[in-house]
Each structure stands twice: as C-alpha cells, then as structure tokens.
Amino acid sequence: MGCFECCIKCLGGVPYASLVATILCFSGVALFCGCGHVALAGTVAILEQHFSTNTSDHALLSEVIQLMQYVIYGIASFFFLYGIILLAEGFYTTSAVKELHGEFKTTACGRCISGMFVFLTYVLGVAWLGVFGFSAVPVFMYYNIWSTCEVIKSPQANGTAGVEQICVDIRQYGIIPWNAFPGKICGSALENICNTNEFYMSYHLFIVACAGAGATVIALIHFLMILSSNWAYLKDASKMQAYQDIKAKEEQELQDIQSRSKEQLNSYT
C-alpha cells in the first residue's frame, strides 16, 4: 500500500461529525467560562463603586459570584476531558463500523459504555439548557440599564422632560437587598456608569458568554445524535457478529459431518 492509499485509509477512519462537535463544544465552553469569569468580576466592581457602597450589603453576592467563578473553573476542566473522551469514543465507533465485516469484535462492555455516554450527554444537554437560560438574565439586566442610558442621552427624541427623573434601581432585580445604599442611580450619574469601561466590557462579555452557552447546547445535541447513531451501529454490529459466529459454527459442524461420512464410507468399501 502506497503513501496516498494509506492517507486515504486514515482519513476514512476519522469521525468528522464527532470532530466538529468537539470543536464546537470546546469553543462554546471556552467562551462561556472565559467571558463569564471576567464579566462577573466587572459586575462586582460596578456594584461596589456605584450601587452598593456598604460592603456588608453585597457581601453575600460577592461570595456567590466568587463561588460561581470557581464553578466555571470546574466546568472548563470537566468539558475539556469529556470532549476528548467523546472524540475517542467516536474514533472507536467509526472503526467498529468500518471494520464490521473484518476481524473487529464489539463487546458488551463497549456497547454499555456507548449507552452510558448517550444518557450522560442527554443529562448534560438538559443542564446546559438551564445554564443558557440563566446566562441570559445578566444580559437582560445590562440591556435595561443600557437602554435607559440611551433614553437619557436623547430625552427630546423620546419625549422625556426630566433627565434626573430617569433612574435604574438594581435592588428590584434581587441581587442586593432593599436597604442597600444608594441602590438607585439617576440621570447623569447613570449615564456616566454606562460610559465606563467596566460596564461596556461586562455587557458585551455577558452577551458572548450567553452565545457560548448556546453553542455548547448545540454541540451537546450534536453529540447526542452522533452517540445514538453510533450505539445503534454497534448494536447492529453485535447482531451481525452473532450471526456470523453461528453461521461459521454450522459450517464447521457440516464439514465435520461430511468428513465423518467419508471416513465411514471408506471403511465400508
């Protein structure tokens, strides 16, 4: 076999669907974890500087955000390992399908592992749907603040008379208590907040993190379809192997019967 034929054979065994899903999963998780981590830090800075000057008012929120940042580290590590495992499983299953009529033998353990991956990926997909919905909450909050700042910038076009009467109260979102001071920012002070780098970066990073969570959901759905298809292929392969084993055994028994018949016939003659 030449070099070209060898390369073609190697490329034929690559699970391209699993490879695309792995790349999409890595990209989505990286965007969600990286952008979400930085955006959470920027959110804490905005709250401390403008909406809650007393540390005790947002102490619980700071602890929750710090815990979420540690959870992000764990999510990134887990999905890096899980994506590699699913890609390896794709290589294994592709080899099983390609060499179905060869010497390759699927085992009950291999089929059980494939079924376990289907179930685990389904659970992770449902969980990431919740993560995707949760990541849209800060985007909604930042969008409301940004749209209020746009109203302040052009009060005449929006029919608003008093700029200082236009306010944003963070306390209504439940992230800080109602006794937090000042809790509510109005007018030009609110416009200054929207012009800060922390607000601009955090807003756009939360949007990217939400998009990353959506990409991860799509990747897990893609993985689920691939794993379900591969599990069905392995199940058919096991049935084919059982059929071939029974057929080979019957042929061997037939050959033994024929050989014994010939021996008996020769003994009579």
CB distance 125 to 221 below 8 Å: yes
Q: What's the pLDDT score for residue 8?
A: 62
CB distance 28 to 213 below 8 Å: yes
Ranges of the chain whose pLDDT falls below 50: 100-104, 157, 160
Cα–Cα dist 129/218, whole Å: 10
Q: Which residues contact 228 (CB under 8 A, 6 or more apart)?
A: 118
Q: What's the pLDDT score for residue 101?
A: 41
Cα–Cα dist 232/240, whole Å: 12
Q: In the beta sheet, which residues pair with residue 186?
A: 167
Domain spans of the chain, in order of start: 19-88+109-233
How far, in Å, are 252, 255, 257 from residue 266 at the CA level? 21, 16, 14
pTM as predicted: 0.78
Q: What's the pLDDT score for residue 102?
A: 46
